[in-house]
Amino acid sequence: MSQEKILSSDGIPLEESLKKAERKNKLKAVLLVAPLFLFILIIYIFPIGDMLFRSVDDRMITKMLPKTFVAMEKWDGQDLPDEPVYQGLYEDLSILKKNKTFGKIIARLNYEKSGFSSLIKKTIRKIDKLEEGNYKEQFIKIHKRWGQSEYLVALKNTAPNWSYAKYLKGVDLKFDEKRNIIQQDEDRRIYKTLWLRTINVAFWVTIFCFILAYPIAHLLATLPMKYSNLLMICVLLPFWTSLLVRTSSWMVLLQQQGPINDLIVWLGWAADDNRPELMYNVIGTFVAMTQILLPFMVLPLYSVMKTISPSLMRAGKSLGGTPLVSFVKIYFPLTIPGIGAGSLLVFILAIGYYITPALVGGASGSLISNNIAYHMKSSLDWAFASALGTMLLVGVLAIYWVYNKLVGIDNIKLG
């Protein structure tokens, strides 16, 4: 084919005049999208980036003790460092004392090695009384730990600007003094259990939601309009109720003197003085989360089922398929996009669920998100919270990737 340029009637190449004609529309489209784009950038992309950054950022000590670290570069990390390091420490700590900004550094160093807290506090208290010169001796006089090389090695270990120690901690691993990766001490291993529990809960909540939602969605899609509308309102009602209210009402229902326990006792399944614990454990988490996440399964399923013509099932039957065969071979395969969408949605929501496990989960029913919240609000180890959050995010993306490989993301139908 010849590549002759097609001209529009005024002699300008057609391509150009088309571009010109569409420029205005493009500009309009960009302007329309801009607010949402900015919104997402500010409240989504930016915080996530910040979170990723925080989880590996370890510059705080380096910044607060600049002279010390400059001096430490010349130290081989074997015996005790020489005078310049101690002089650097003296100058840095004096500035910190003057500015009263030593709180953070104490927490960070104590996390690196316990014992640092009292060491730094005592040093700062007495630092004004030091005389010029021979700081090494004077430091060791203030606290004998300044004379133990392991503390100074620990201090030197915090020198790199970036660290993935928080990620190691998230899977119950840690560095030893020689920077080898080793298992966390037995009594401090909690994160593996927590991750497994989180995945386990998310998985089973997804399964329960699927089992409960499939018949409801089918009913919704096949009932005559006036009934299906009513049913739809019943499905959506939880959406319009505050999450907190719904979880609290589960607390009312599930508590040991609550109606469900009353029923169990009345039915004779349990003795009155031995009522089963339905709350503050993993059962409560399962029950409440399944109920709360159910609509997220019902709606995608419904929207897919709505598009399946009832004549397909009829065709299956008229061709000789029993209702069961017709269902398995025809109806079910056609609902797979909805199942995929619903499961993905419920699983991803469940894996990061917070309020419900926090309220009804108790210790044995709390999930990774509760731990993240704990580090955000109580222990104030934001870096670790960020690391856990990033791990969660990566996990979700991995699930998404696997799903895309297995089912194909294009097959998802959300409505």
Partner 1 sequence: MSNDHFVRFENVDKSYDGKQLVVKGLNLDIEEGEFVTMLGPSGSGKTTCLMMLAGFETPTNGQIYLDNKVISDIPPHKRGIGMVFQNYALFPHMTVYENLAFPLRVRKIPKDEADKKVDKALSMVSLQGFEARMPMQLSGGQQQRVAVARSLVFDPKLVLMDEPLGALDKNLRESMQYEIKHIHENIGVTVVYVTHDQTEALTMSNRIAVFNDGKVQQLSSPDELYERPVNSFVAEFIGENNTFGGEVIDVSGDKCKVKLNSGTEIMANPIVANSKGDKTTVSLRPERAIIDPEKDMDNNHKGKIEEVIYHGDHTRLRVDLLGNKDFILKIPNSSNRMDITEGKEIKIGWNSVDCRALDPK
Shortest Å, Cβ 401 to partner 1: 24
Q: Is 75 left (phi over 0), alpha (psi -120 to 50) or beta?
A: beta
Q: Which is nearer to partner 1, 104 or 314 (CB)?
A: 314
Q: Which is nearer to partner 1, 65 or 313 (CB)?
A: 313
| Residue 12 CA neighbour count, 13 Å, CB half | 8
Q: How far is CA 84 from CA 116, 150, 384, 404, in A?
A: 20, 18, 33, 58
Shortest Å, Cβ 224 to partner 1: 11
Q: Which is nearer to partner 1, 201 or 301 (CB)?
A: 301
CB 184 within 8 A of CB 169: yes
Shortest Å, Cβ 211 to partner 1: 23
Which candidate, 198, 190, 202, places its Cα nearest to that of 367?
198
Q: Which is nearer to partner 1, 118 or 318 (CB)?
A: 318
Q: Which is nearer to partner 1, 256 or 318 (CB)?
A: 318
Query: What tokens were used for 219?
Result: 């009913």
Chain positions contacting partner 1, by CB under 8 A: 309, 311-312, 314-323, 325-326, 329-330, 333-334
Shortest Å, Cβ 209 to partner 1: 24
Q: Which is nearer to partner 1, 6 or 225 (CB)?
A: 225
Shortest Å, Cβ 173 to partner 1: 46
Sequence-ordered alpha helix ranges (H) in 73-223: 83-99, 103-112, 116-126, 135-142, 149-157, 165-170, 191-222
Give 333's contacts (C-beta < 8 A, 6+ positions apart).
Answer: none
Shortest Å, Cβ 415 to partner 1: 19
d(CA 110, CA 113): 5
Question: In degrees to the nearest 10, what's the CA dihedral of 249, 251, 253, 254?
Answer: 160
